[in-house]
Amino acid sequence: MEIKATTKYARIAPRKARDLARAMQGRSVAEALRLVEVSERKAAALIGKTLKSAIANAENNHKVSADTLRVVSATVDEGPSLKRYWPRSRGMASPIRKRTSHIAIVLSDQ
């Protein structure tokens, strides 16, 4: 059985969060939580919240013990960008894209 949890519009660039998400794939839930708690990156806090939400979904909605769960996939997709501008010389402006992410975690008990 696959259990899913998503966080949408997380205020972090996807490329800064993808390496941690890739490191979690294939690990047990306990190992993935340990990996997230040890990391000091901003992405670790956001991915950790999503992982804990997936674990809670499994225990409350599907009556599955967290001890048997594994991380099947953890993906970080690109969300919409906030477009801002930074002033430059001679009255010009440079665009700034403040990127957002959609974090999705899938757990399985097999």
- Report pLDDT for 72: 96
pLDDT in tens, the chain (110 residues): 899 999 999 999 999 999 999 999 999 999 999 999 999 999 999 999 999 999 999 999 999 999 999 999 999 999 999 999 999 999 999 999 999 999 999 999 88
- Half-sphere exposure for 72 (CA within 13 Å, toward CB): 15
Domain range for 15 is 2-108
How far apart are the C-alpha atoms of 23 and 20, rounded to whole Å? 5
CATH of residue 32's domain is 3.90.470.10
- The DSSP secondary-structure symbol of 81 reads P
Q: Are strands 82-87 and 70-78 parallel, antiparallel or unpaired?
A: unpaired
Number of domains in the chain: 1
Predicted TM-score of the model (pTM): 0.90
Cβ atoms of residues 5 and 105 within 8 Å: yes
Closest to 26 measured CA to CA, from 66, 64, 73, 67: 73
Residues 6+ apart with CB under 8 A from 21: 43, 47, 74, 75, 76, 103
- Report pLDDT for 54: 96
- Report pLDDT for 110: 80
